[in-house]
Amino acid sequence: MENTIIKFAMGTCGIASGTQDILNLFDKELSRLNYPARLVRTGCMGHCYAEPTISITLPDQEPVYFGNVNEERAREIIDHFLLKGDRTEGIIPPEGDFSRKQFKIALKNCGEIDPEEIQEYIDREGYKALMKCLTSMKPEKVIAEMKASGLRGRGGGGFPTGVKWENTRKSKSDQKYVVCNADEGDPGAFMDRSVLEGDPHSVIEAMIICGYSIGANKGLVYIRAEYPLAISRLKTALKQAREHGFLGDNILHSGFSFDIEIRYGAGAFVCGEETALIHSMEGMRGEPTFKPPYPSVRGYMGRPTCVNNVETLANIPAIIRNGAEWFAGIGTASSKGTKVFALAGKIKRTGLIEVPMGTTLREIIFEIGGGIKGIKKFKAVQTGGPSGGCLSEQYLDTPIDYENLLQAGSMMGSGGMIVLDEDDCMVSMAKFYLEFSIDESCGKCAPCRIGNKRLHEMLERITAGKGTMADLQKIKDLSVVIKDTSLCGLGQTSPNPVLSTLNQFHDEYEAHIEARTCDAHQCKELIHYVIVADKCTGCTVCFRNCPVEAIYGDKGAVHTILDNQCIKCGICFSKCKFNAIIIN
Amino acid sequence: MTALSENTRHFLIEVCKKYHNDEHELINVLHEAQDALGYLPVEVQHLIAGELNIPDARVYGVVTFYSFFTMVPKGKFDISICMGTACYVKGNELILDEFKRRLNIKVGGTTPDGVFTLTTLRCVGACSLAPVVSIGNKVFGNVTPLQVKKIIDEYMEKAEELH
pLDDT tens across A514-546, in order? 999 999 999 999 999 999 999 999 999 999 888
Closest C-alpha among B99, B163, B106 to residue A547: B99
Same domain, yes or no: A416 and A432: no
Beta bridge partners of A260: A219
pLDDT tens across B99-158, in order? 999 999 999 999 999 999 999 987 777 788 889 998 877 788 889 988 999 999 999 999
Is pLDDT at A2 greater than 90 in this prediction? no
Please tell me if residue A570 touches chain B, with a CB cutoff of 8 Å. yes
Cβ atoms of A401 and A335 closer than 8 Å: yes
pLDDT value at residue A96 = 54
ipTM: 0.89
Is pLDDT at A156 greater than 90 in this prediction? no
Same domain, yes or no: A253 and A369: no
Q: Do B30 and A266 touch (CB under 8 A)?
A: yes
Q: Do B146 and A385 touch (CB under 8 A)?
A: no
Same domain, yes or no: A304 and A172: yes
Closest chain B residue to the Cα of A425, Cα to Cα: B89
C-alpha B23/C-alpha B58 separation (Å) is: 10
Please tell me if residue A384 touches chain B, with a CB cutoff of 8 Å. no
Determine the 3-state secondary structure of B82 from DSSP.
Answer: strand
CA dihedral for A363, A365, A367, A371, sign (positive or negative): negative
Cβ atoms of A385 and A186 closer than 8 Å: yes
In a domain, A98, yes or no: no
C-alpha A220/C-alpha A494 separation (Å) is: 28
Angle between helices A128-136 and A200-214 (to 10 degrees): 10
Q: What is the domain count for chain A? A: 5
List the CATH number of the domain containing A566. Answer: 3.30.70.20
Q: Do B98 and A51 touch (CB under 8 A)?
A: no
Q: 409-468 in A: which are within 8 Å (CB) of B?
A: 416, 418, 420, 424, 432-433, 436, 442
Q: Which residues of A touch B58 (CB under 8 A)?
A: 284
pLDDT value at residue A93 = 65
Q: What is the DSSP string of B134-157?
A: EETTEEE-S--HHHHHHHHHHHHH
Buried b (16+ CB within 10 A) or exposed e, B41-58: beebbebbbebbeeeeeb
Buried b (16+ CB within 10 A) or exposed e, A459-492: beebbeeebeeebbeebeebbeebbeebbbbbbb
- The region of weakest confidence among A80-94, A125-139, A298-312 is A80-94
Q: Do B26 and A284 touch (CB under 8 A)?
A: yes
C-alpha A301/C-alpha A283 separation (Å) is: 11
Kindly state the greatest CA–CA separation across chain B.
Answer: 52
Q: What average pLDDT does range A410-420 have in this prediction?
A: 92
Cβ atoms of A193 and A230 closer than 8 Å: yes
Examine the fold and report which residue of A328, A358, A383 is the final residue of a domain before the chain moves on: A328
Domain range spanning residue A219?
118-328
Within 10 A of A259 (CB to CB), how many other CB atoms are there? 16
Domain-wise residue ranges, chain B: 6-65, 77-162
Q: Do A267 and B123 touch (CB under 8 A)?
A: no
Closest chain B residue to the Cα of A418, Cα to Cα: B86
Is pLDDT at A92 greater than 80 in this prediction? no
Beta bridge partners of B140: B133
Same domain, yes or no: A161 and A218: yes
Is pLDDT at A490 greater than 80 in this prediction? yes
Residue type, A89: E
Cβ atoms of A424 and A520 closer than 8 Å: yes
Q: What average pLDDT does range A499-521 have in this prediction?
A: 95
Q: What is the 3-state secondary structure (H, E, C) of A301-357?
A: HHCCEEEEEHHHHHHHHHHHHHCHHHHHCCECCCCECEEEEEEEECECCCEEEEEEC
Kindly state the greatest CA–CA separation across chain A.
Answer: 87
Same domain, yes or no: A298 and A387: no
In a domain, A218, yes or no: yes
Q: Do A187 and B84 touch (CB under 8 A)?
A: yes
pLDDT value at residue A470 = 97
Residue A457 exposed, middle or buried by CB count within 10 Å (0-12, 13-18, 19+): exposed
pLDDT value at residue A258 = 98
- Is B77-162 in CATH node 3.40.30.10? yes
Same domain, yes or no: A228 and A282: yes
Residue type, A536: C
Q: Which residues of B touch A264 (CB under 8 A)?
A: 27-28, 31
CA dihedral for A368, A374, A379, A385, sign (positive or negative): negative
- The alpha-carbon gap from A148 to the nearest alpha carbon of chain B, in Å, equals 34
Cβ atoms of A196 and A310 closer than 8 Å: yes
Considering only CB atoms, B128 lies closest to which of A13, A185, A346, namely: A13
pLDDT value at residue A210 = 98
Residue A580 neighbours by CB under 8 Å, 6+ apart = A531, A532, A535, A536, A537
Is pLDDT at A82 greater than 60 in this prediction? yes
C-alpha A501/C-alpha A495 separation (Å) is: 10
Closest chain A residue to the Cα of B88, Cα to Cα: A432
Q: Which residues of B touch A342 (CB under 8 A)?
A: 125, 127
pLDDT tens across A322-379, in order? 999 999 999 999 999 999 999 999 999 988 999 999 999 999 999 999 999 999 999 9
CA A438 from centroid of its chain's CA atoms? 21
Task: Report residue B1's pLDDT band, with 50, 70 and 90 as the boundaries.
Answer: low
Same domain, yes or no: A242 and A156: yes
Task: Report residue A501's pLDDT band, with 50, 70 and 90 as the boundaries.
Answer: very high
Q: What average pLDDT does range A391-414 have in this prediction?
A: 93
Please tell me if residue A280 touches chain B, with a CB cutoff of 8 Å. yes
Same domain, yes or no: A505 and A551: no
C-alpha A245/C-alpha A256 separation (Å) is: 11
Within 10 A of B6 (CB to CB), how many other CB atoms are there? 8
Residue type, A198: G
Please tell me if residue A385 touches chain B, with a CB cutoff of 8 Å. yes
Q: What's the pTM value of the predicted model, to 2 decimals?
A: 0.93
Spell out the long-range contacts of A249-254 with Cβ–Cβ below 8 A and sequence spacing 24 or more: A251/A130, A251/A134, A251/A208, A252/A130, A252/A131, A252/A134, A252/A135, A254/A134, A254/A135
C-alpha A120/C-alpha A441 separation (Å) is: 42
Q: What is the 3-state secondary structure (H, E, C) of A263-307?
A: EECCCCHHHHCHHHHHHHHCCCCCCCCCCCCCCCCCCHHHCCEEE
In a domain, A449, yes or no: yes
Q: What is the mean pLDDT of chain A?
A: 93
List the CATH number of the domain containing A63. Answer: 3.40.30.10
C-alpha A286/C-alpha A280 separation (Å) is: 5
Beta bridge partners of A372: A347
Examine the fold and report which residue of A268, A303, A328 is the final residue of a domain before the chain moves on: A328
Q: What is the DSSP letter of A559?
A: -
Closest C-alpha among A430, A426, A359 to residue A397: A359
Q: What is the DSSP string of A173-205?
A: -S--EEEEEE---STT--HHHHHHHH-HHHHHH
Q: Mean pLDDT: which of A11-15, A86-90, A203-207, B129-133 is highest?
A: A203-207
Residue A322 neighbours by CB under 8 Å, 6+ apart = none
- The alpha-carbon gap from A77 to the nearest alpha carbon of chain B, in Å, equals 24
pLDDT tens across A30-74, in order? 999 999 999 999 999 998 888 899 999 999 888 889 999 999 999
Alpha helices in A38-183 (DSSP H): 71-76, 118-123, 128-136, 139-149, 161-170
Q: Which residues of A touch B125 (CB under 8 A)?
A: 12-13, 189-190, 193-194, 342
Q: Do A13 and B125 touch (CB under 8 A)?
A: yes
CA dihedral for A197, A199, A201, A207, sign (positive or negative): negative
Percent of chain B's residues with pLDDT above 70: 99
CA dihedral angle for residue A297, residue B19, residue A185, residue A472, rounded to 10 degrees: -70
List the CATH number of the domain containing A304. Answer: 3.40.50.11540
Q: Do A187 and B85 touch (CB under 8 A)?
A: yes
Same domain, yes or no: A413 and A438: no
Cβ atoms of A422 and A379 closer than 8 Å: yes
C-alpha B60/C-alpha B26 separation (Å) is: 11
Q: Which residues of B touch A (CB under 8 A)?
A: 22-28, 30-31, 58, 61-62, 65-69, 83-86, 88-90, 94, 97-98, 101-102, 121-130, 139, 141, 144-146
pLDDT value at residue A157 = 81
Q: Which residues of A touch B28 (CB under 8 A)?
A: 263-264, 283
pLDDT value at residue A100 = 80
Same domain, yes or no: A488 and A468: yes
Considering only CB atoms, A280 lies closest to which of B27, B84, B124, namely: B27
Is pLDDT at A383 greater than 70 in this prediction? yes
Same domain, yes or no: A64 and A171: no
pLDDT tens across A243-271, in order? 999 999 999 999 999 999 999 999 899 99
Same domain, yes or no: A361 and A453: no
pLDDT tens across A164-221, in order? 999 999 999 999 999 999 998 888 888 999 999 999 999 999 999 999 999 999 999 9
Task: Report residue B86's pLDDT band, with 50, 70 and 90 as the boundaries.
Answer: confident
Alpha helices in chain B (DSSP H): 6-18, 26-37, 42-52, 56-65, 85-89, 92-103, 145-162
pLDDT value at residue A263 = 94
List the CATH number of the domain containing A496. Answer: 1.20.1440.230
